[in-house]
Structure 1
Amino acid sequence: MSPDDALKYARKEIENAPQIAEDPDLYSPLFKNVSAFKRSYELMERILKVYIYRDGRRPIFHTPELSGIYASEGWFMKLMEENRRFVTQEPQKAHLFYLPYSSRRLQTALYVPDSHDLNPLSIYLRDYVNWIAGKYPFWNRTRGTDHFLVACHDWGPYTTTAHEELCKNTIKALCNADTSEGIFIKGRDISLPETIIRNPRKPLRYIGSGRLVSQRSILAFFAGNIHGRVRPVLLKYWDGKDPDMHIYGPLPARVSRRMTYIQHMKSSKYCICPMGYEVNSPRIVEAIYYECVPVIIADNFVLPFEEVLDWSAFSVVVPEKDIPNLKSILLGIPLRRYLKMHTCVKMLQKHFLWHPRPVKYDLFYMILHSIWFNRINQVQIEKEQ
């Protein structure tokens, strides 16, 4: 089949996915429709081919950054470029085309500190897209709708704005998945999990399980730098106001001597994940790693893998206006529901892990699946239009 026919075939297969009651590799309460996800994933493994452009100067292109807060884009780039199952050297067979740039490398290479000017970054990416559109026929054939990028820096969305087709048509996997700014397009774009990698050689080294529910004596915990619109309000209402609510700015030395940041997460029922300057927060994935139910406070934030995951099964989303009622909202959750959420968080971990070599259903595959899944849905929309 041609690439387009293959995507249309996959769409029909997913719509008519056989119902599964139980699967040893998938925990069905995590998913909106586990049968559709399983069938889509199987088809991705069987069908999907990705062409990676070899153009682009280092370090902005083809140079993954594997540590730090923006490591998601680097790990995806590394594992995608090393992949033999999905990558094709024959672009005419490709269903998707990967633009292998790093928004973090773009920022460090081109941004003038304190200038507040992002234009050089977006212009550089615009010129790159124009270059590949002039050199190859693939961009112009679809106006970029079968192309994708992966960008975790806060400024990732803004680097696309100088090129209209890149901004509006291309599938963008972004950590800063904010629908209020008119750049992230829900249903086309992907919310990319923000993960902190401390040791690139051993990405799983600092990940550990939390305590039993009976050993979680803290109702809610947050500690971190105070910036953006949400965190100052969180501290205003809860810093030092209630013994059940361990809410701080940077964790004070007097507190950390008794209990570290990670120990707090392992000992808390709920981990508060407020937005910073932008809507995304690495605390969401940190909470999952330590089996602490994430409480997400960030209006207009599209949650990672929202197209397939049911976030109500393992998290609490609190509108920013309800911060004063935070404790009563958490206490209002019945114990039985909390126990189910806690179990779901534990079962969810496997989908948010980076491995030196990808493991089925891990974070690399979840990102690629969401890109594949949204592209299939867009093919249907294009046909209808």
Structure 2
Amino acid sequence: MLDRAKPSPAMRDPKLKTARAHKPRQCRLLDRLRKRYFYRWRWLLWLALSAYLFLPALPPSLRGPSSELRPGVRIYAYNLPPRFNQAWAAADARCARHLFAAEVAVHEALLLRQRRAGLRLEEADLFFVPVYVCCNFSTPTGLPSLAHARGLLADAVGLVRAEMPFWNRSAGADHVFVASHDFGACFHPMEDVAIAAGIPESLKRSILLQTFGVQGRHPCQDVEHVVLPPYVPPEVAPRELPEPEKAHRDIFAFFRGKMEVHPKNISGHFYSRKVRTELLQLYGRNRKFHLKRKRYDGYRLEMARSLFCLCPLGWAPWSPRLVESVLLGCIPVIIADNIRLPFPGVLRWPDISLQVAERDVAGLEAVLDHVAETNLTTIQRNLWDPMKRKALVFNRPMEEGDATWQVLKELEAKLEPLQQQGRRRIHT
């Protein structure tokens, strides 16, 4: 309501009213536009300031996609004495390159990230305990030995418990280890022995990054864990390799590896649950199948020439062939019942691979023929997606979307449950 006791400015000064009336129409429009954009930019500035101040306080599940190299989880890698890691890597170059070398690759990628970010111990959400248990090449066959694994891990946990203040406040629930060998957290290459030994008591509340994963319950994955791919050197994927549907692939189905004619070996166990032996017996003389038992350093060249690469189980369900075949554009044919594959949120495995039940090996040729006649090109194109291939490779330094990056994203998703369970207070 107007205050009639006070005349308006125009009433007080008739010249003002006359000036407004004679003001050019363009000037009046410009004034309105200035006012409109002033208020609009003020709101945008307020929204930007609010996002800057308040979004970091949201839990990871409510934030938007993280930017390059910055998944929301902050992991601090402990600086353990060299006898737990660097001394093993220095003693044998194979330590950083064999199929179990994810323990080395993840450690090195986290260290580089930590240095770049200037992360301090007290700022961390999770703590990485770098113990290389797969670097002991003392066996007669030259394969990594796990005989020392439990003792080395127990020493590392004892050291961390005694000298670091963070283990005891959560009983190790916010500590991360790598178990990149056959049966993961049980730390033994034979399943029955691994099950009998069980998961070390000191690690039962921790998080394990492990290549071993199966659907359903299993004593060796009955601990908080993330399934990660086996290690394959990044240079396995040659840049000059053409798209699979454009390449000349003269091998229909390929496998090279251990295939006993007599599947019961000296330890009394049936290797590959007889699957590899059945493959050899059924298809060893079939010209469409290129099955070889002898080792050959250039076997990846054979994979790059193949349409289908067979990935049967060995002692454990997983195999490095799974990663190698994807990187080389060869459709992986997974023959391992109940296997759980890494990063299913990014890698839609049914779109880039085939799965054949162990009991259906006799019908394998018919399955592959049907795919070759129907949707072969579609699977090959899905397989050649750069994002899918990158998710299986451990780069140093870590790159957005690679295997270590995917591990961090899965660990980030575990932060909120950790908070809800009261294991520790997570500062964001």
The interval holding the TM-score normalised by the smaller chain is 0.7 to 0.9
Instruction: Give 1:98 deviation, angstroms.
Output: 0.2
1:371 aligns with 2:407: no
1:183-202 paired onto structure 2 within 5 Å: 183-185=220-222, 188-197=224-233
Q: 1:246 aligns with which of 268, 282, 290?
A: 290
Match in the other structure for 2:79: 54
Tell me what 1:73 maps to: 103
**Are positions 1:9 and 2:59 aligned together?**
yes
Matched, 1:173 2:209: yes
Aligned pair partner of 1:235 in 280, 304, 312: 280
Do the aligned residues in 1 keep the contact of 2:77 with 2:127 (CA within 8 Å)? yes
Change (3 A) 1:55 1:378: same
**Pairing partner for 2:245 from 200, 213, 230:** 213
1-side partners of 2:127 and 2:353: how far apart? 33
TM-score after normalising by structure 2? 0.68
Question: SS of the residue aligned with 2:221?
Answer: coil
Residues 327, 113 of structure 1: alpha-carbon distance in 2 compared, 3 angstrom cutoff: closer
Gaps of 5+ in 2: 1-54, 90-94, 189-197, 260-270, 424-428
Give how far 1:118 is off.
5.7
Q: Which runs of 4+ in 1 moved over 6 A?
A: 5-8, 111-114
Name the residue aligned to 1:31.
Answer: none
- Cα pair 2:309 2:330 within 8 Å, conserved: yes
CA gap of 1:331–1:205, structure 2 versus 1, over 3 A, is closer
Structure-2 separation of matches of 1:113 and 1:219 = 32
Are the equivalent residues in 2 in contact too, given 1:291–1:345 (CA < 8 A)?
yes
- Write the letter of the residue equivalent to 2:332: P
Match of 2:23 in 1: none
Aligned residues: 337
2:368 maps to which residue? 330
Q: Which residue of 2 aligns with 1:382?
A: 421
Greater shift, 243-252 or 270-279, is seen at 243-252
Code of the residue aligned with 2:104 in structure 1: it is G
Q: Secondary structure at the match of 1:312?
A: helix
Code of the residue aligned with 1:231 in structure 2: it is R
Gaps of 5+ in 1: 18-38, 198-202
Cα-Cα RMSD: 3.6
Deviation at 1:368, TM superposition (A): 2.5
Q: What's 1:29 paired with? A: none
The alpha-carbon distance between structure 1 residues 162 and 219, as it changes in their structure 2 partners (threshold 3 A), is closer
Deviation for aligned residue 1:108? 4.3
Whole-Å separation in 2 of the counterparts to 1:145 and 1:234:
43
Q: Is the 8 A contact 2:131 2:156 kept in 1?
A: no
Q: 2:113 touches 2:397 (CA, 8 Å); kept in 1?
A: no
The alpha carbon displacement at 1:205 in A equals: 6.2
Could you tell me the percent identity over the aligned residues? 24
SS of the residue 1:344 aligns to: helix
Q: Does the alignment pair 1:223 with 2:256?
A: yes
Larger deviation: 120-129 or 86-95?
86-95
Q: CA deviation at 1:96?
A: 1.1
Secondary structure class of the residue paired with 1:148: strand
Q: Structure 1 counterpart of 2:294, which letter? A: P
* Counterparts of 2:364 and 2:389, CA distance in 1: 25
Q: Which residue of 1 aligns with 2:181?
A: 153
Q: Which residue does 2:48 correspond to in 1?
A: none
Deviations 1:147-204 (A, max 9, x none): 11123233643239463241x3222111233466412248x4122211333xxxxx42
Deviations 1:291-346 (A, max 9, x none): 11111112232212135432111111222111111112223337553322211211
How far apart, in 2, do the equivalents of 1:112 and 1:272 lie? Answer: 28
In structure 1, the residue matched to 2:402 is 362
Contact 2:60–2:416 (CA under 8 A) maintained in structure 1:
no
The residue aligned with 1:138 is 166
